Chains A and B, each alone.
Chain A
């Protein structure tokens, strides 16, 4: 049985006289202990989707099952109990500004009626896990963004949840802090075996820690699968767009534009052969390297390169075949890189 199962989930909002469909018949299952990424551009519906998992948003149609229990079957009290078994962290941290760090971490325990002494002990233990044991008495306004998110993580873990939902949890943080928070999430996943669902618009977050990914576009689930598979050979346009991170600011100058562009992905074993150099030597024609990058995907190094091929369809096709023969994945790229 999957930890989280989403069946035919549809969510519609009424805006004045019209209805907006935020999610359209989504089917998704997340296995126990997974780190599952849900990625999409802003407005794609991913925040609504993650809020459906703990019923902060009630679906218009379809079901959400946690450990096989349909949330729609629960009464108010049972639903609140269930929610306390699902931790959640947010882009804006959402800490209680008038409570200090330890009281923030104790808060969910206070709500569920734990004794104060027990709650404090548990909170101290968690602050150690997130490396903030010295900040116990500090107030949120005295902390940096990364520290606030650590407190929020400790707070989300206080009730010993089986699932942790992260709603754009790193979007307000700088790259270094993002990296340290992701590292922490990974540690927590390994240490407690907690299932983590990460909502993000950054592909780098997904490739850094997720095992599986689902891509949401305009309320539809357009692609789903293991991260390395999706990264190597994205099928949907949305996936391609996200992987190419089009909005990054290394747009090449005009004359680097080529008619036909391809994207190749190297795995660690194929990185030894100088493929591009050999390709040029073999065909005696130059190719343009428009973009080159390496990424750590699920702990394995992956190289990514976008090549502009020389004019002439015949030679272009030959080149693609030649690269494929060397065991590399080739995708054609239409957009400007």
Chain B
């Protein structure tokens, strides 16, 4: 059963899975990090409370997050086709993954920044720091451990979601698992893909935790 072709297919699957996971995490943060900062800054106890902007951001995040990923995947097909040119394949999967992840990331970032001690922010204000300086030099720096934890968790979740895209021909290990395990009853191949996903997840978690430990100076 595991001839050269299958092994090659699995290797391509790993590559596609990593590509989808990492690219969607990256683009997810490109959208989600600024959105999270905006939510924190305009929130009730933020640097510049603004209930209108916060309300809009809050609403969008909640709406997108309440749509299950599988449905989002299908719902976004026309949009994906518009952006990527086709609605299947790993690059196409990144579009719904990013849209699904961005609000989630925004929430994680908002929560991390909310954890920063209000006293430290006040001290920076007393020194004459501008809001931009407080965001860059205080909030993002003091919250970095929590932010990195969020990144690790998000990457793990996106790994799982990328596997789901197999159902619409997204490519990657999930796609292989669905095609061989579900449609062709080749349980062996499915088990191997699941094992590979577990290993990749462990590696992500391990790297994330290692970095987090190294940059945390709060307790030693």
- Chain A residues, Cβ within 8 Å of B210: none
Residue of A nearest to B217 (CB): A139
Q: Quick one: given A90-B123, A95-B120, A98-B142, are A80 and B130 in contact (CB under 8 Å)?
A: yes
- Chain A residues, Cβ within 8 Å of B122: 56, 90, 94
A81 vs B127: C-alpha distance when bound (angstroms): 9
B108-123 vs A: 1/0 string, CB under 8 Å? 0000000001011011
Chain B nearest CB from A101 CB (Å) reads: 11
A111 touches B218 (CB 8 A): no
Q: Quick one: given A92-B119, A95-B120, A97-B142, are A107 and B217 in contact (CB under 8 Å)?
A: no
- Chain B residues, Cβ within 8 Å of A298: none
| Interface footprint category on B | 20 to 34
Q: Which A81-103 residues sit within 8 Å CB-CB of chain B?
A: 81-84, 86, 88, 90, 92, 94-100
B128 touches A81 (CB 8 A): yes
B186 at the binding interface (Cβ < 8 Å): no
Determine, out of B29-37, B133-141, B171-179, B197-205, the stretch whose residues face the partner at the interface: B133-141
- Chain B residues, Cβ within 8 Å of A81: 128
- Chain B residues, Cβ within 8 Å of A54: 126
Residue of A nearest to B141 (CB): A98
B218 touches A141 (CB 8 A): yes
A97 vs B122: C-alpha distance when bound (angstroms): 14
A95 vs B218: C-alpha distance when bound (angstroms): 11
Chain A nearest CB from B125 CB (Å) reads: 6
B177-220 vs A: 1/0 string, CB under 8 Å? 00000000000000000000000000000000000000111111
B123 touches A88 (CB 8 A): yes
A82 vs B125: C-alpha distance when bound (angstroms): 11
- Chain A residues, Cβ within 8 Å of B64: none
Number of interface residues of A (CB under 8 A): 31
- Chain B residues, Cβ within 8 Å of A96: 120, 138, 141-142
A80 vs B124: C-alpha distance when bound (angstroms): 10
B124-159 vs A: 1/0 string, CB under 8 Å? 111111100100011001101100000000000000
- Chain B residues, Cβ within 8 Å of A269: none
- Chain A residues, Cβ within 8 Å of B219: 141
A76 vs B131: C-alpha distance when bound (angstroms): 11
Residue of A nearest to B143 (CB): A98
A86 touches B126 (CB 8 A): yes
Chain B nearest CB from A239 CB (Å) reads: 29
Q: Beyond the given A98-B145, A107-B127, A142-B220, please list 13 additional residue pairs across the A-B interface where CB-CB is below 8 A.
A: A54-B126, A56-B125, A76-B130, A82-B128, A84-B127, A86-B126, A88-B127, A92-B117, A94-B123, A97-B120, A97-B218, A98-B216, A111-B137
